[in-house]
């Protein structure tokens, strides 16, 4: 029997929730959070439907990886330039332009499917165009977040941003399964197109004024300034490496879920979307943990330890043939991956000064996001040679080895 009075238990629960959601007390952050949440639900609906469509058209793990690769390649190539521009120009206008381009590609894909002329080549091209828009909108958004909340609340805000992303992954995955079964892939793409209107409205309602930099240098000079600062901070270099390897080795777990759902468990879109929802639920839990911890002691040590655990989970997923166990592993892997990435991103944002934020954070984001296309392409090709389970097993082992290396050698991360 519990000895805690109900009133005290309620008060404790409210205090925990208030701490976890503290950044939502700030108007502009609350507005952009809500708009991004609504829009990202549509984005995940499209991602689920698009992955299923690509695999249905090609029956190829390689094309699944190629689609992810081409969607992320512009981010890898252009995000640093996008970061420089975000430090020089109006970040809100950059974000608006990015939303309009992504809205257009969603409606275009819907039209291609509805008219029956869709081909995998068209999907790949539209993925690349979407990635181009994100390469300029993403750095502007990342640089904007620290201006919406006080510095003490920054880890909480970053974690809450991850929560909205992953809550939308759960809802988007489940809604995609229902919509695909009832109306087909085209409706998922249409709903995604309309979802961008929410974030457009949120951006337009922000009460921010663009302040141009006092000294205007060349774009190349600004880029060099970002890299020079990064080179002087060993901990930033180490965090960037950790971020790259985490996504390079970890993302294929989600990329190959359509293959696992169909070939291992003989399931359809419902099973695929359910497995994605388990991963998303884990990410929400992981982000809530980071949000509640805030700027805690030994964040670097925690993230490295959790990275080792994440590698073990991925390796375990590769050998399991029990559905409930695989779903549990996806939940735990979602928790672990979110703790690693949210804590790493928080530490980078806390280290970097505001006047360099767009440039330096964009370099970090290239590593974080750039690992995704390269990992998808490399693992997709490797899977055609040795199979998906072997690739995931090797990826998991390598991820744990990387975590152990930085736990032993540190390079400044362990002490953060």
DSSP state letters, 300-311: HHHHHHHHHHHH
CB contact at 8 A, 66 and 124: yes
Please say whether the beta carbons of 279 and 291 come within 8 A: no
Q: Cα–Cα distance between 128 and 333 in angstroms, integer?
A: 28
Q: What is the SS3 assignment for 214?
A: coil
Q: pLDDT of 208-221, one tens digit each?
A: 665 555 556 666 77
Q: Which two tokens stand for residue 298?
A: 């030994």
DSSP, res 268? -
Residues 6+ apart with CB under 8 A from 116: none
Mean pLDDT (whole number) for 367-393: 82
Residue 268 CB burial class (10 angstroms; 0-12, 13-18, ≥19): middle
Contact call for residues 37 and 172 (beta carbons, < 8 A): no
**Angstrom distance (rounded) from CA 380 to CA 95:** 31
Distance CA 225, CA 219 (A): 10
256-296 pLDDT, tens digit per residue, is 888 888 888 877 777 887 888 888 788 878 878 877 776 66
Residues 71-97 have pLDDT tens digits of 878 877 887 787 778 777 777 888 889
CA neighbours closer than 13 Å in the CB half-sphere of residue 223: 9
> What mean pLDDT comes out for the span 4-32?
70
pLDDT tens-digit map of 126-162? 999 998 888 888 878 877 887 788 877 777 787 787 7
Number of CB atoms found within 10 A of residue 209's CB: 7
The pTM assigned to this predicted structure is 0.68
Are 120 and 65 a contacting pair, CB within 8 Å?
no
């Amino acid at each position: 029997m519990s000895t805690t009075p109900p009133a005290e238990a309620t008060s404790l629960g409210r205090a925990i929730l208030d701490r976890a959601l503290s950044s939502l007390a700030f108007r502009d952050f609350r507005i952009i959070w809500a708009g991004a949440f609504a829009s990202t639900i549509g984005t995940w609906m499209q991602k689920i439907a698009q992955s299923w469509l690509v695999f249905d058209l090609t029956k190829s793990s390689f094309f699944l990886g190629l689609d992810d690769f081409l969607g992320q390649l512009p981010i890898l190539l252009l995000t640093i330039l996008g970061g420089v521009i975000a430090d020089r120009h109006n970040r809100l206008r950059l974000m608006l332009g990015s939303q309009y381009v992504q809205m257009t590609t969603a409606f275009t894909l819907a039209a291609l499917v509805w008219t029956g002329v869709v081909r995998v080549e068209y999907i790949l091209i539209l993925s690349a165009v979407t990635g181009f828009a994100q390469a300029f909108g993403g750095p502007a958004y990342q640089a904007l977040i620290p201006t919406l909340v006080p510095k003490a609340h920054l880890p909480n805000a970053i974690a809450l941003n991850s929560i909205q992303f992953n809550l939308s992954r759960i809802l988007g995955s489940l809604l995609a399964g229902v919509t695909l079964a009832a109306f087909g892939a085209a409706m998922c793409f249409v709903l995604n197109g309309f979802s961008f209107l929410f974030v457009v409205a949120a951006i337009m309602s922000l009460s921010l004024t663009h302040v141009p930099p006092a000294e205007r240098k060349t774009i190349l000079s600004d880029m060099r300034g970002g890299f020079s600062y990064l080179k002087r901070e060993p901990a930033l270099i180490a965090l960037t490496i950790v971020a790259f390897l985490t996504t390079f080795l970890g993302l294929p777990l989600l990329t190959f879920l359509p293959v696992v759902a169909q070939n291992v468990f003989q399931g359809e879109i419902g099973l695929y979307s359910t497995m994605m929802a388990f991963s998303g639920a884990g990410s929400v839990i992981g982000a809530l943990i980071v949000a509640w911890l805030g700027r805690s002691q030994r964040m670097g040590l925690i993230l490295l330890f959790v990275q080792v655990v994440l590698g073990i989970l991925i390796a375990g997923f590769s050998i399991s043939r029990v559905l409930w166990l695989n779903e549990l592993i996806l939940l735990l892997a979602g928790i672990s991956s979110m703790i690693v990435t949210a804590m790493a991103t928080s530490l980078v944002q806390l280290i970097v000064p505001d006047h360099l934020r767009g440039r330096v954070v964009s370099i970090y984001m290239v590593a974080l996001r750039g690992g995704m296309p390269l990992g998808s392409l490399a693992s997709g090709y490797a899977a055609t040679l040795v199979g998906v389970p072997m690739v995931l097993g090797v990826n998991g082992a390598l991820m744990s080895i990387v975590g152990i290396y930085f736990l032993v050698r540190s390079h400044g991360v362990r002490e953060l």
